[in-house]
Amino acid sequence: MIVLLGVFFALVVLAVIFTLLLRRQLREKYAIMWLLIGFAILILALFPGLLVGLSDLLGVEVPSNLIFALALVLLVGVALHLSWELSQAEDEVRRVAEEVALLRADVEDLRTHYKAVTTPPTDEPQRPNDEG
């Protein structure tokens, strides 16, 4: 029963990942990691003896502790990667904002120059209108 529950969970995870990919709501570079996780869950659900063997190999007494440790390492890795991506995005936003500010200043200079060229000089006193 627990094997079927694990397989069901893995298939749901994989289905969600593929759905997000098809809707373009998840980028490919992130999907690869989640697909690997989904397939790892599926393999461990289908062959639970692999987890026991891996925990024996690594010297972990309880296989569920190995899952928790691996999940913790995975979450730290994801958090670190997302922090790096956020830093990259902040740098890009700052760079674009600086470029926009420079372009706005250039546009304002062009408007001022255009107004100066197209506005007739106002040095001559205006004559009153004799008609009237």
What confidence tens digit (pLDDT) does each residue in 38-95 have?
Answer: 899 899 889 989 999 999 999 999 998 999 999 999 999 989 999 999 999 999 999 9
- Do residue 39 and residue 81 come from a single domain? no
pTM over 0.85: no
Q: Are 75 and 101 in the same domain?
A: yes
Evaluate whether residue 5 is within a structural domain: yes
Helix 48-58, helix 63-118: angle, nearest 10:
90
62 vs 74: CA distance, rounded Å: 19
pLDDT above 60 (res 11): yes
* 34 and 72 fall within a common domain: no
Q: What is the mean pLDDT of the chain?
A: 89
Cα separation, 125 vs 121, whole angstroms: 10
Amino acid making up residue 119:
T
Within-domain flag for 57: no
Computed from CA positions of residues 76, 78, 81, 82, in that sequence, does the dihedral angle turn out positive or negative? negative
Domain membership of residue 67 as a residue range: 63-118
- Indicate whether 41 and 71 sit together in one domain: no
d(CA 110, CA 105): 9
Q: How many structural domains comprise the chain?
A: 2
